[in-house]
């Protein structure tokens, strides 16, 4: 089998326009794949240089393969089974901050550089006062980035045209604004020149973004079959689902310079991310969270089993289309298409997603993902939504710790688990439910204040216990 290396493939010589912080499966299976598609479609002409910000040793498999790797799409798309591979040739180099710090700073000297993309985990965009100077390697990604930007600022003597466009992919709200704020904190903390701070403000664009794609990563179980099909030994192959979505909140210049949508990719340039974030949280995440406890109580153990089960599949569709979508202020057609995509993604035969893993910290998830839809439906219709009430009841029963002699895999804060145990020791279902609904620390408010909610949930709990 051929080795995956530059001499063995055909690739173009493109300028490096993107600095990518992070070399994990998600960025390689999402942004790198998109850049490759855009380059192939001739709507973009630029390569990526990856920066390793966490690992203190170089990524030898990437270097061994000349930064080449395949992205393997597997799943359902418009009802059809998809199994496609794309060879990503658009990553031209990789630098480890800890091993090659001077080389890392020199990346800022590249006159062609235009974009910074990152995914350093939700905790990655933060400020650390232990980072005492721009002359040493910072603990945080924003600290490392500030040092590189300062080097770029000095190299080009504050040239306004050498500012960059930032596209953070970390799953935090207002990720671009948070990143910019951290950089400015470092500038102030390190007492760097006011002119540098102004250059960051005036000549750089920080976009808030929202990303969505399931990336299981290296296809360990099927790698021999995958390598047989692609014809190469590839130790960096990444499996992804066909669905992908990237919403970018930014000025027109971003769309003009980064026209990924013109390559047929599901990329939207928007004025406001909030509706898309709400859509994802309420329908995708909310659908997961609403389904999991009820499906588990019914004896199912994976997402695919649940959506293919006639009872649970119908329950999920009714909850999404009948009780969640009516509460969202977006075009009906867009919401229904998103919901259709979500249900198709849940049924992906190549991804084994266990319900117990989704059930982790379900109380906080329910508060953010499902409860707003449940309350909004009541306000809109002046009645309680049957499916979401059943989901709420199933959650409380799930947290009981056992159901009909079968242990439920409750995994949450110890205090919460102890409080549920105490509540379930009370004399009646109504007392138990009333106690749990009164916990402001769970829901942000005392839910007993909503007329008829305690009774509706108690009745659904009794139905589950007596079924």
Q: What is the 3-state secondary structure (H, E, C) of the chain?
A: CEECCHHHCCCCCCCEEEEEECCCHHHHHCHHHHHHHHHHCCCCCCEEEEEECCCCCCCHHHHHCCCCEEEEEEEEECCEEEEEEEEECCEEEEEECCCCHHHHHHHHHCCCCCEEEECCCCCCCCCCCCCCCCCCCCCCHHHHHHHHHHHHHHHCCCCHHHCCEEEECCCCCCHHHHHHHHHHHHHHHCCCCHHHHHHHHHHCEECEEEEECCCCECCHHHHHHHHHHHCEECCCCEEECCCCEEEEECCHHHHHHCCHHHHCCCEEEECCCHHHHHHHHHHHHHHHHHHHHHHHHCCCCEHHHHHHCHHHHHHHHHHHHHHHHHHCCCCHHHHHHHHHHHHHHHCCCCCCCEHHHHCCCHHHHHHHHCHHHHHHHHHHHCCCCHHHHHHHHHHHHHCCCEECCEECCCCCCHHHHHHHHHHHCCCCHHHHHHHHHCCHHHHCCCHHHCCCHHHHHHHHHHHHHHC
Average pLDDT over residues 308-332: 97
Residues 6+ apart with CB under 8 A from 252: none
Dist. CA 165–CA 187, nearest whole Å: 18
Helix (H) / strand (E) element for 52: namely strand 47-52
Q: What is the mean pLDDT of the chain?
A: 95
- Under a CB-based contact definition with an 8 Å cutoff, are residues 109 and 151 in contact? yes
Nearest CA-CA partner of 251 in 300, 214, 207, 284: 207
**Separation between Cα atoms, residue 320 and residue 340, nearest integer Å:** 10
Q: What are 246-292's pLDDT values in tens digits?
A: 999 987 899 999 999 999 999 999 999 999 999 999 999 999 999 99
Q: Give residue for tokens 């406001």.
A: 272
pLDDT of residue 467: 86
Cα angle: 63, vertex 67, 69; to 5 degrees: 120
Statement: residue 91 has pLDDT above 90: yes
- Give the pLDDT confidence of 216-251 residue by residue, as tens digits: 999 998 999 999 999 999 999 999 999 999 999 987
Contact 227, 233 (CB under 8 A): yes
pLDDT category of residue 11 using cuts at 50, 70 and 90: confident
pLDDT band at 27 (very low <50, low <70, confident <90, very high): very high
pLDDT confidence tier of residue 153, bands split at 50, 70 and 90: very high
Strands 245-249 and 402-403: unpaired
Say if residue 314's pLDDT is above 90: yes
Domain boundaries, given as residue ranges, for the chain: 2-270, 274-466
Range of weakest confidence among 7-11, 91-95, 239-243, 331-335: 7-11
Q: What whole-number distance in Å separates Cα of residue 217 and Cα of residue 236? A: 9
Distance separating alpha carbons of residues 165 and 17, to the nearest angstrom: 10
- Are 73 and 348 spatial neighbours (Cβ–Cβ below 8 Å)? no
pLDDT per residue as tens digits for the range 369-383: 999 999 999 999 999
Considering only residues 174 and 123, tell me which one the structure prediction assigns the higher pLDDT.
174
Which class does domain 2-270 fall in?
alpha beta
- pLDDT for 196 equals 98
Looking at the DSSP bridge assignments, the partners of residue 402 are: 407
Check whether 427 has a pLDDT greater than 90.
no
Tell me if the domain spanning 274-466 has CATH number 2.40.50.1020: no
Span 126-143, pLDDT tens digits? 999 999 999 999 999 999
pTM over 0.75: yes
* Pairing assessment for the beta strands 80-88 and 16-21 based on DSSP bridges: unpaired
pLDDT, tens digit (0-9, with 9 covering 90-100), for 46-77: 999 999 988 777 667 899 999 999 999 999 99
């Amino acid at each position: 089998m051929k080795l995956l290396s530059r001499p063995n493939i055909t690739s173009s010589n493109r300028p490096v326009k993107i600095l990518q912080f992070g070399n994990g499966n998600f960025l390689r299976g999402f942004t790198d794949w998109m850049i490759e598609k855009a380059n192939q479609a001739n709507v973009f002409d630029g390569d990526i240089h990856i920066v390793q910000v966490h690992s203190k040793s170089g990524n030898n498999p990437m270097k061994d393969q000349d930064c080449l790797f395949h992205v393997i799409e597997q799943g359902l798309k418009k009802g059809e089974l998809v199994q496609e591979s794309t060879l990503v040739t658009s990553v031209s180099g990789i630098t480890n901050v800890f091993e090659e710090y001077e080389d890392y700073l020199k990346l800022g000297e590249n006159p062609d550089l235009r974009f910074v993309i990152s995914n350093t985990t939700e905790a990655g965009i933060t400020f650390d006062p232990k980072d005492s100077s721009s002359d040493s390697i910072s603990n945080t990604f924003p600290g490392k980035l500030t040092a590189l930007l300062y080097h770029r600022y000095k190299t080009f003597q504050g040239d306004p045209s050498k500012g960059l466009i930032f596209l953070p992919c970390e799953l935090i709200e207002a990720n671009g604004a948070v990143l910019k704020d951290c950089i400015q904190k470092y500038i102030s903390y390190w007492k760097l020149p006011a002119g540098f701070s102004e250059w960051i403000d005036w000549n750089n664009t920080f976009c808030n973004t929202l990303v969505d794609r399931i990336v299981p990563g290296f296809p360990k179980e099927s790698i021999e079959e995958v390598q047989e099909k692609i014809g190469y030994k590839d130790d960096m192959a990444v499996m992804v689902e066909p669905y992908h979505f990237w919403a970018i909140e930014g000025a027109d210049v971003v769309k003009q310079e980064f026209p990924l949508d013109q390559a047929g990719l599901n990329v939207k340039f928007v004025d406001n991310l909030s509706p898309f974030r709400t859509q994802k949280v309420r329908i995708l995440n909310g659908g997961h969270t609403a389904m999991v406890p009820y499906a588990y109580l019914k004896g199912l153990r994976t997402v695919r089993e649940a959506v293919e089960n006639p009872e649970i599949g119908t329950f999920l569709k009714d909850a999404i289309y009948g009780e969640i979508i009516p509460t969202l202020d977006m075009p009906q057609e867009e919401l229904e298409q998103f919901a259709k995509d979500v249900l198709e993604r849940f049924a992906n035969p190549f991804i084994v997603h266990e319900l117990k893993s989704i059930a982790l910290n379900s109380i906080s998830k329910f508060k953010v993902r499902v409860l707003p839809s449940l309350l909004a439906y009541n306000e809109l219709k002046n009645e309680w939504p049957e499916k979401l009430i059943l989901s709420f009841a199933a959650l409380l029963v799930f947290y009981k710790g056992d159901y009909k002699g079968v242990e439920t895999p409750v995994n949450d804060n110890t205090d919460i688990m102890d409080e549920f145990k105490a509540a379930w020791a009370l004399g009646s279902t109504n007392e138990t439910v009333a106690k749990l609904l009164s916990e402001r620390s769970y829901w942000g408010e005392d839910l007993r204040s909503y007329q008829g909610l305690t009774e509706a949930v108690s009745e659904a709990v009794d139905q589950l216990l007596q079924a």
